[in-house]
Amino acid sequence: MGLLDKLQTHIETKDTHKNEMLQTRYYAASSHAMLQWLEGKIQENGQTVRRIDANRGELSFLGEGWDGLITIVQVDGGRTAVDFTLNREQRLGADLSQIVSHYYEALTQQFPLRAIGNKTVER
């Protein structure tokens, strides 16, 4: 990851992202359980949960100088997708990709990881 990546003011995860660190993660957990766990984790990290919409599987939150949206969608009985969208107003500030990486690592420690992007993870 180069300097230009760190200067990005908008970052979004997706299945086909060129950077594997920013590819959608799929976990073996219900969307409800993941929303509840993420709410607690965000507060534990000193960030603010702005809104949770369990029907849409969305959680919006604020960090210092940035804001984010986590989208959680149960795609089938054993896989739930988690995607992030983060924005920062200033060119300099928190490394948005590091924030995504931090949350994906924490989720992987809490819930069984099933896939990264389009690649199944060995169990």
Report how far Cα 87 is from the mean position of its chain's Cα atoms.
Answer: 13
> Left (φ > 0), alpha (ψ -120 to 50) or beta: where does 72 sit?
beta
Would you state the pLDDT for residue 47?
96
> Left (φ > 0), alpha (ψ -120 to 50) or beta: where does 57 sit?
left
41 — pLDDT class (breaks 50, 70, 90): very high
- Per residue in 82-97, pLDDT (tens digit) is 999 999 988 777 889 9
Structural domains present in the chain: 3-120 (3.30.310.50)
76 — pLDDT class (breaks 50, 70, 90): confident
| Region 53-73 average pLDDT | 96
The residue type of 94 is A
Question: Diameter of the chain by CA atoms?
Answer: 41
| Region 63-70 average pLDDT | 95
| Region 51-74 average pLDDT | 96
Would you state the pLDDT for residue 123?
58
119 — pLDDT class (breaks 50, 70, 90): confident
DSSP string, 20-60: GGGS-EEESS-HHHHHHHHHHHHHHTT-EEEEEETTTTEEE
Q: From CA 80, how far away is CA 115, in angstroms rounded?
A: 10
